[in-house]
Structure 1
C-alpha cells in the first residue's frame, strides 16, 4: 500500500515537472528568440517586406530626444478608456531645468464611450475649453500633444480651437522621452503592464495613429493611416534613418515604435508556446494576434496560471481534484495575485488566503505548487521580454559600429514596477544575451502626460530650428 502511494506521488511529481519544463528556457533558446526578433525587426524596417511584417517597426517621426533647451508652455491630453486628463505642462530650460504640471481629470460618459468618434472628440474639445477656463489660459496659440491608450478612428483635433497639434503620442515613445529628459543616454522605451484599458464594446473602433507618433503640422494628421492595436507590452528605440526604408531620407535618427507585441503572429514562436498559451490566445478577444505580448504581458500571465491550475486540478494534482466555480471564470486569476503569491515575504498561510478568495480550499502542498506555477510563468515572461530587449540594444550597438554600448532603457508598467522578481530576471537576461551592452533601466514618471508634452516641445524646437 505504501509503495503504491509512493509510486503515485512520484508519478504525479514527474508529470508536474514534465509539464512545467515547457516553460523553462535555456540560454540557447533565448538567444534563438533574440535572433528571431532581430530578423523580424529587419523585415519591418525594409520597404519591400514592411507590409507583411508582423513586427511593424512604425516610424514615429520623432527625430530627436530632448537636449535640455526645450522651453515653453504646452498642453497635453492623456486619453484612456473611461476618463482622460488635460494637462498644462510648463517646461523651463537653463541650469535648473524644471517640468511643472497641472492637470484636471474628466470622465467619459458611457454613452460617449459607446458612441461615434465625432461625439468623443466633441466631448474632448468641450473639456479642453473647460480646462483652459479653469487655468485662466487666454492668448497665443498653444502647442498640444495627445496620448491614446485605446484605439479610435478620429485623426484630427485642431478644427475647433486655435491649438497647434504637434504630436500624436504612443505611451512607449512618451516613456522614452520622459526618461531621456532626465538621462541623455536613454534611447529605448519599454512598456510592460498588468492591465490594458480594453473595453469590449469598443472592439470595432480603432484609432489609426495609436502606437504612432507624428511630429508635424496639424494639416498632416488626416494622412496617418497605419492600423495598429493597443498592446500590453511594446518597445521603441532610436534607429538610424538610413535603415528606415519606409521613410524618405537617410540622415540622422528616428524613433521606431516597434509594436513588438505581434512578434510570433507568423508562427516563429510556435516551438516555445505551450498548450496553455494556445488556450489563452484562443479565448482572447484577438485570437491569433499579439502572441508575444500574450506570453510576457501582465494582462495575460494570470490567465496562463489559471489554465495550468485547472489542468492540474483535473489531473488530481491540486485542491483534491475540486475545481471551484470562480476558478472557471476567465480573467479571475488577476496578475496581482501572481505578484502577491511570488513575494518572498508572503507566508504559505497568506498564499492560502489568496486562493481562498477564489473558492479554493488549499493545503500547504497546494500553496507550494501554486507558487511554483506562478514562478515559472512569470520567469519565462521576464526572460522573453529580456530576449527582445537584447535584440534591440544589440542592433543599436551594431548600427554604430561600437565594441561596447552604454544605453538606458526608459521603462513603465505595473508588472515591471510591482512584480517582486520580473525586473531583476529581465535585467539579468539582457546582460547575459547582450554582453557587449551596458544597459541601465530608468523608471518613467508619467510617460503619457509628461512624455506627450516633451515630444511636443522637441517637435516645436526642431520646427523652429528648421525655419531659422
Structure 2
C-alpha cells in the first residue's frame, strides 16, 4: 500500500514538474473567460457585417441566405428523392414522409462511388455520372415513372438566389470538375436529366448540410432553430429575422442563414490569439490564409496542430530525447482520431505509449504525460472557441426576439462532436458560461443530409402551394 502511495506521489510530482516546463509553450492556447468573451463579441460584429447590404461583399462570415423560410410543422407528407454530394461517395435516397398521428419517416438509399477522374473531369461528365446513379436507383426502387420532388444536398460553398438555385462559388474537398464554378448547379443537374431522357424530376431545393441538420432535428423538436456541424469541417446556420438580412428583399418572417463561419478571422481579427503552431498549419494547408477559425476548431486540423507542437517541444529537448523521427516530420500523420484515443479517460499511459509507437515514436512515460497534456490543450481550445461562436449565435437570436431569457435547441452533427471524449462537454459548458440568458439544448442529428434534404423539399413544396393560392 505504501509503495502504491509513494508511486502516486512520485507520479504527481513528476507530472507537475514536467508540465511546468512546457507550460509556457502551451500558455497561449489556454484562454481566459475574458478572451473567450472577446472572441464572442468579435464574432458578433462579423455576423453583422455578413448581414449588412454594404458590408456583405467583403465580410468573412458570409451569412448566406438559404431561402428556407420555416421549419417543418408536421404536415409534411409524400415521397421525396434526396441526393447527397459532399465527398468521394454520393448517395441517392427515397424518403417517405407520412403526416398525421403516426408521423413517420422511412428511408431507402444506395451509395455510389465517384471516381477521381470524374471528380476532376468536366462538369458535364460529373453531372451525367450523378444522373446515371439516380437512374440506377429509380430502377432499383421501381419508381422510374413517378415525377418525384427532389432535394439536393450539395456541401460546397454556394451563393443561393432562391430555394432551387445555387451558384457554385468554389469547389473544395478534391473536386475540380470544369465549367461548374460560377454556374447554377441545379441547372447543371436539370440539363443532365434532360440529356438522359429516361425520367423526370422536380428539383425543389438545393440544401447545405448544416441546414439539413437543423431541419432533421426541428422535425423531432420544434424549438430547434440552429444547426451545427462540428466534424472534419465546422459551420453553422440559424433562423434569422428577415428584416436583419439586408441582402434579401422583404421584412416579414424569418429565413435560415448559412453562416459559413469557418472563414471567421480571415480578415486578421483573430491574429492576436493565433499561435506560431496555427500559422504553421495554415502555411502547410491547401488554402493558406483561408478558413482560419475552422483551422483552430475542426477535426481536419487538430492533429496537425498537435504535431507542430510536438516537433517544437522535441527540438527544445522536452520530448523523445530531442530526436525528431521521420514519421513526426510527415504532414497529416497525427490524425485527430489519435487525439480522441489519447484523451480517453480509460486510457493508461502504457496505451498512450503504444499509440505513439504506432507513429514510430519511442516514448517514455514522461513523454506520454506531455503528449496527453498537449492533446488536451488543443482540443479544449477548439471546443471553447467553437462555443464562443455558438454563444454569439444564440445570444443574437435572444436579442432579435427581445427576450430576457431564450429556450432554444441546436441540432448537431459531426464526428468531432460525436466521437471525441471531451469536446461536446467543454463546448456546451462554454456556451452556457458565455450566453447565461440562453437555455440551450443540444440534439444529435440523424442523417441531416438525407432526411433533412427531404424535409426541406417537403416544406418547399408546401410554401410553393401557398404562394400559388395567393396569386
Return the TM-score normalized by structure 2.
0.88
Which deviates the most, 10-19 or 258-267?
A: 10-19
SS at 1:332 equivalent: coil
Quote the residue 1:390 is aligned against: 391
Match 2:114 to one of 108, 112, 123 = 108
Return the TM-score normalized by structure 1.
0.89
RMSD, aligned CA: 1.4
- 8 Å contact 2:19–2:370 — kept in the other structure? no
Match 1:169 to one of 201, 207, 215 = 207
Quote the residue 1:44 is aligned against: 50
| Cα offsets for 1:22-76 (capped at 9, x unmatched) | 0111111100000000000000000000001000000000000101101100000
Q: Distance in 2 between matches of 1:125 and 1:17?
A: 56
Q: Distance in 1 between matches of 2:93 and 2:136?
A: 12
Q: Which runs of 4+ in 1 moved over 6 A?
A: 9-12
- How far off is 1:93 after superposition? 0.5
Are positions 1:346 and 2:352 aligned together?
A: no
- How far off is 1:280 after superposition? 0.3
Match 1:181 to one of 188, 210, 219 = 219
Match 1:192 to one of 210, 226, 230 = 230
SS at 1:25 equivalent: coil
Quote the residue 2:135 is aligned against: 129
| Cα offsets for 1:271-291 (capped at 9, x unmatched) | 110000000001100000000
Structure 1 residues 400, 13: CA separation in 2 closer, same or farther (over 3 Å shift)? closer
- 8 Å contact 2:135–2:144 — kept in the other structure? no
Quote the residue 1:291 is aligned against: 292
- How far off is 1:110 after superposition? 2.6
- Structure 1: segments with no counterpart, 5+ residues: 1-8, 196-231
Q: Distance in 1 between matches of 2:431 and 2:17?
A: 36
- How far off is 1:80 after superposition? 3.2
Q: Distance in 2 between matches of 1:171 and 1:86?
A: 15
- 8 Å contact 1:187–1:407 — kept in the other structure? yes
SS at 1:50 equivalent: coil
- How far off is 1:81 after superposition? 2.4
- 8 Å contact 1:241–1:251 — kept in the other structure? yes
- How far off is 1:90 after superposition? 0.3
Q: Distance in 1 between matches of 2:292 and 2:117?
A: 32
Quote the residue 2:163 is aligned against: none
- How far off is 1:158 after superposition? 1.9
Quote the residue 2:87 is aligned against: 81
- Structure 2: segments with no counterpart, 5+ residues: 1-14, 157-170, 172-176
- 8 Å contact 1:176–1:188 — kept in the other structure? yes
- 8 Å contact 1:324–1:358 — kept in the other structure? no
- How far off is 1:144 after superposition? 0.5
Quote the residue 2:249 is aligned against: 248
Quote the residue 2:279 is aligned against: 278
- How far off is 1:292 after superposition? 0.3
SS at 1:410 equivalent: strand
Q: Distance in 2 between matches of 1:72 and 1:139?
A: 16
Quote the residue 1:17 is aligned against: 23
Residues 194-343 of structure 1 aligned to structure 2 (within 5 Å)? 195=232, 232-343=233-344
Q: Distance in 2 between matches of 1:283 and 1:145?
A: 36
Structure 1 residues 10, 456: CA separation in 2 closer, same or farther (over 3 Å shift)? closer
Quote the residue 1:228 is aligned against: none
Q: Distance in 1 between matches of 2:205 and 2:400?
A: 27
- How far off is 1:361 after superposition? 0.6
Q: Distance in 2 between matches of 1:323 and 1:428?
A: 37
Q: Distance in 1 between matches of 2:350 and 2:274?
A: 33
Q: Distance in 2 between matches of 1:117 and 1:69?
A: 37
Residues 366-385 of structure 1 aligned to structure 2 (within 5 Å)? 366-385=367-386
Q: Distance in 2 between matches of 1:409 and 1:435?
A: 16
Q: Distance in 2 between matches of 1:54 and 1:37?
A: 10
Quote the residue 1:57 is aligned against: 63
- How far off is 1:12 after superposition? 7.2
- How far off is 1:13 after superposition? 5.2
- How far off is 1:15 after superposition? 4.6
Are positions 1:90 and 2:91 aligned together?
A: no
- 8 Å contact 1:264–1:291 — kept in the other structure? yes
- How far off is 1:148 after superposition? 2.3
- How far off is 1:10 after superposition? 9.9
Quote the residue 1:149 is aligned against: 155
- How far off is 1:359 after superposition? 0.5
